[in-house]
Amino acid sequence: MSEEEARIWNELGKITDPEIPALTLTEMKVIRSVRVNGKVTVVFSPTYVGCPATAQIMQEIRTCVAALGYREIAIETSFTPPWSTDMLDEDAREKLRMFGIAPPPDDASDIASALELAVHCPSCKSDQTTLESSFGSALCRQIFYCRSCRQSFERIKPI
């Protein structure tokens, strides 16, 4: 990565995800690549097909790159390989917990077992939790209820 590309990457890392404000776009691993070659090309991978925040994120990427003085900006989306919650590293998972959102299970590739795994409450760590609704405040979140501390919390849906 060139110095110029690294600078853009660094700036994109200051944009928070509109759906999950605890994490930035680079922490969410949704920025796939940055290329500077006359024009700037940013390859972005939406977390969910049809995620309603996609258009907003693309606009924010464009505004951010334009603020660095670039005129020709192309933002491409890529679904290969598809984004997966497995891409979140341990730092990102810890930030989610601090924000009060339960991170997805470590390995979501086996969806059947991921669905059966106990979801731990981000406040009290209890596993006495139940799924209340598959759709939280954003499409990619689920609402759980903790029977130990009697609070609802959100979890990032494993994909």
Report d(CA 59, CA 135) in Å as an integer: 25
Q: Which is nearer to Zn ion, 70 or 99 (CB)?
A: 99
- Regarding 123 and contact with Zn ion (CB under 5 A), the answer is yes
Site for Zn ion in 130-159 (CB under 5 A): 146, 148-149
Residue 133 CB, nearest distance to Zn ion (Å)? 17
Per rule CB under 5 A, is residue 114 in the interface with Zn ion? no
Minimum distance, C-beta of residue 124 to Zn ion, in the bound complex (Å): 3
DSSP string, 6-67: HHHHHHHTTSBPSS-TTSBTTTTT-EEEEEEESEEEEEE--SSTT-TTHHHHHHHHHHHHHH
Considering only the C-alpha atoms of the chain, give the largest distance between any 2 of them, rounded to a whole number of Å. 57
Q: Report the residue from 121, 138, 140, 156 that binds Zn ion according to the rule CB under 5 A.
A: 121
- Site size toward Zn ion (CB under 5 A) is 7
93 near 102, Cβ under 8 Å?
Answer: no
Q: Nearer to Zn ion by C-beta: 28 or 121?
A: 121
Please say which residue, 2 or 130, places its beta carbon nearer to Zn ion.
130
Name the minimum Å distance from CB 11 to Zn ion.
Answer: 37
Residue from 124, 139, 143, 159 in contact with Zn ion (CB under 5 A)? 124
**β-pair type (39-44, 31-37):** antiparallel
**C-beta of residue 128 within 8 angstroms of C-beta of residue 148:** yes
Contact positions toward Zn ion, by CB under 5 A?
121, 123-124, 126, 146, 148-149
